[in-house]
Chains A and B, each alone.
Chain A
Amino acid sequence: MCGIVGLFLKNKALAPELGSLTAKMLKMMSDRGPDSAGFAVYGAGEDDEIKLTLRIAGATGAFAAAFAARFGLPARLTQKSSHAVLSIPAALEAEVRLWLAGEYPGIHLVGAGTRMELYKDVGLPGDVADRFGLPAMRGTHAIGHTRMATESSVTTDGAHPFSTGLDQCLVHNGSLSNHNAMRRVLIREGLAFETENDSEVAAAYLTWRMREGASLEQALTASLADLDGFYTFVVGTESGFAVLRDPIACKPAVMAETDDYVAFGSEYRALAVLPDIEKARLFEPEPARVYVWEH
């Protein structure tokens, strides 16, 4: 099993409620995935800056001081439980990544982007959402996942979403059967992997396709031929939101669309918490059909 929720706002007036609605949806999917949970929120951002979401144990004071000393800039660091978001000038991205990898191998880079922040942890979905303050977060779109592990162990690293490119994230319900072979292909193409998880391979596959010039829609269409297994994917980019189910639609999915939002839930229960849901157009995404919404 596993649960997925996603919310893509069409009406900007709902932006302050993005986090609280996503938290309610995520909590509703606890039965489907009580092992761990995670979410990506696309909020405010500056074009010339990058937000690095780091998983960092303990106090961050010494880390902030070391950053300031190394880069001659005050560390703009916002800590939320076991994660912290470090905002840096985009031009420094490569340098900061190298420094982190070299000096702080214990700190995990969970995600990076101009607008995306990504949090995940083991525990019940409602607790994970509260731990990181999801209900207070605002933004344009969010994707969340509740995990019941099948292909790899219950660890924070194994929790979704997976992010393998700037402002890109993917959540997956299902299991892929050709992920080891595909991982080898992607490693040859220069992609790096943090885990043995099959879903990370799907995320990296899309990153690779988009790096080679494909649109989000084209990348997902190509994945139909190249990824084998059971899946419902929900994918976020800086401005996009996409859904794809495998050709026999093994894993559940239901969507709601109104003038204000597009929402995804593994079950209707997750959508029942949304405003005006009784007036929404409800539909199940068709097998092997790529759905994309863009801001």
Chain B
Amino acid sequence: MPDIDLAQTSVRELNAALHGLPGDSNETLWKVRNPQGKHAIAAGLNFPATVEIEGPVGYYCAGMNCLGTVIVHGNAGTGVAENMMSGEVRVMGDASQSAGATGRGGLLVIEGNASARCGISMKGIDIVVKGDIGPMSAFMAQAGNLVVLGGAGENLGDSIYEARLWVRGAVKSLGADCIEKEPTAEERGALKTVLQRAGINGEAKAEDFRLYGSARTLYHFHIDNVGAY
């Protein structure tokens, strides 16, 4: 098992080694020590390896992740799992702003809280936050599920297209064109699947969540609003 100490090895060397893994490699478990908040750790992973990071990471950790599993035993800085394509990223602590931003697929689990703009412009990723999420989360979200076991900050889902926002706790306020919706049985089923994939069994039930989504009034220009431009 490769054991990388970032006090000795640069992030660039680590990432180059991960990117260079041949398709038939048996090096599927990596340990990374002393991350000390450095940026872009394990970004651009394109191989089904598991990378365990022993400590807090900086910006864009596991960004663009494809197939890989990245586990952060600490907090994560801005943009963890940004633009993730597939695979899984799990943050054992809190995540800073823009967690899972623009993600297209895969699963991001945050065991603690996520701050502002969680899931901004999400495009198919599933995000599960066990604590609270900050203000302006899911801004312009397009697809995927954002599941929050705690509460949400102000302006949740502002200018949302079509993602599903599931919140168990209180929502401080909803953003423009975001409304509470009555979920269909199919939608509840999808939530159940996400909770199972995130390993949440018993901690929370799909029935405990309220669904928020798009009112679809911003999809087309409305002539009555011409004065606003």
Contacts and interface: CB of A to CB of B under 8 A. Distances in A.
Interface string A262-275: 00000111011000
Contacts of B135: 248-249, 286-287
Contacts of B78: 252
Q: Give the size range of A's interface with the partner.
A: 10 to 19
B116 A268 contact: no
A287 B154 CA distance: 10
B145 interface: no
A86 B75 CA distance: 45
B46 interface: no
A70 to B, nearest CB: 51
Question: 5 closest A-B pairs (Cβ-Cβ)?
Answer: A268-B37, A269-B37, A272-B36, A284-B115, A272-B37
A254 B76 CA distance: 11
A248 B56 contact: no
Chain A contact residues: over half helix, strand or loop, or mixed?
loop
A278 to B, nearest CB: 8
A272 B36 CA distance: 6
Nearest to B55: A278
A267 B56 contact: no
Given A248-B136, A252-B78, A287-B135, A268 B97 contact: no
A249 B118 CA distance: 13
A96 interface: no
A186 interface: no
B23 to A, nearest CB: 34
B118 to A, nearest CB: 12
Contacts of A282: 75, 94
B48 interface: no
A22 B77 CA distance: 21
A37 B10 CA distance: 26
A31 B3 CA distance: 27
Given A248-B136, A252-B97, A268-B37, 17 more contacts: A248-B116, A249-B97, A249-B116, A252-B96, A254-B96, A267-B58, A267-B77, A268-B77, A269-B36, A269-B58, A272-B37, A272-B56, A282-B75, A284-B97, A284-B115, A286-B134, A287-B135
Contacts of B136: 248
Most buried by B among A268, A284, A286: A268
Nearest to A245: B116
Interface in B31-61: 36-38, 56, 58-59
A282 B78 CA distance: 14
B211 to A, nearest CB: 26
Contacts of B116: 248-249, 284, 287
Contact of B96 (A272, A284, A286, A287): A284
A268 B115 contact: no
Contact of B38 (A252, A269, A287): A269
B37 A267 contact: yes
